[in-house]
Amino acid sequence: MKTALITGATSGIGYEFAKQLADRGFGLIVVGRRVERLQELKESLSVPVDVIKADLNNQQECFGLLDQVADKDIDVFINNAGFGLCGKFVETDVNREVSMVQVNDIAMHILFKGILQQMNKAGKGQILNVASSAGILPAGPYMATYYASKAYVVSLTRAVDVELKESGSGVKVSALCPGPVDTEFNDTADVVFALKGISARQCVSEALKGMDRAKTIIVPSLRMKLAMAFQAIVPMPILVKLTARQQKKKMD
């Protein structure tokens, strides 16, 4: 049986990955802080599920997670845990932002590298780093740190993808770049979406299809694919102002 490791599996996109990968016959290792939710998820699925409690805001717990899965044969890693924060940079809480950079970037980085090294030794595997359409756009006024944190995920994934291909590695890496998805993200980020979100189910189903085709950048939904094509031809200063207008609506 193949095994998938999923961080942030307690809700939203990670939870949906757990369900759809279980439907594909994967055994699961699921990670999050709200361990009671992971136990409920385990009980609802008919595949073997290992539950690991970890706070990825803590670097020691990131390395501890790698130690706990060091002897596992992981076929798919969904590097998903993350959160957002909305507001004017001059006013937002620096502690929440540092925590966001820790979870969205540092933990993502530590786990990406650790699992990649493990998979590379095995000569196979697939990693999906969950970024955002925010990571493709040049900047996101009023959600500045979140956009910057997701640009890091996209840039890192693109670079490592080329290194792996040039070295003939059997491991494939992708970045998932959704627009708005209906999850608990908004409650955490304290925003309302300016655009209607897609369901986590649609997001994950399109993500898995993108992984099947070994796409490096996966953008779910036709509307976001068109938006990403449009942004590539708009001059950067105009695009940043347009993004600012969209972001401001989220604070209403």
Ligand X SMILES: NC(=O)c1ccc[n+]([C@@H]2O[C@H](COP(=O)([O-])OP(=O)(O)OC[C@H]3O[C@@H](n4cnc5c(N)ncnc54)[C@H](OP(=O)(O)O)[C@@H]3O)[C@@H](O)[C@H]2O)c1
Tokens of 27: 């055994």
Q: 45 or 81, CB closer to ligand X?
A: 81
Among 3, 80, 221, 247, binds ligand X (CB under 6 A): 80
Helix (H, G, I), strand (E, B) or coil at 134: helix
Among 3, 157, 174, 183, binds ligand X (CB under 6 A): 183
Q: What angle do CA 198, 189, 30 make, to 5 degrees?
A: 70
Q: 120 or 228, CB closer to ligand X?
A: 228
* H or E element that contains 201: helix 200-212
Kindly state the smallest distance separating residue 123's Cβ from ligand X, in Å: 28
Residue 33 lies near ligand X (rule: CB under 6 A): yes
* Nearest Cα residue to 180 out of 156, 196, 192, 204: 196
Residue 205 lies near ligand X (rule: CB under 6 A): no
Strands 27-32, 3-7: parallel, antiparallel or unpaired by DSSP?
parallel
Among 3, 11, 118, 169, binds ligand X (CB under 6 A): 11
Residue 15 falls in the annotated catalytic set: no
Match 């993500």 to its residue by tokens: 207
Among 132, 174, 243, 247, binds ligand X (CB under 6 A): 132
Identify whether the C-beta of residue 175 lies closer than 8 Å to the C-beta of residue 112.
no
Binding site residues, ligand X, CB under 6 A: 8-14, 32-34, 54-57, 80-84, 103, 130, 132, 178, 180-181, 183-185, 188, 197
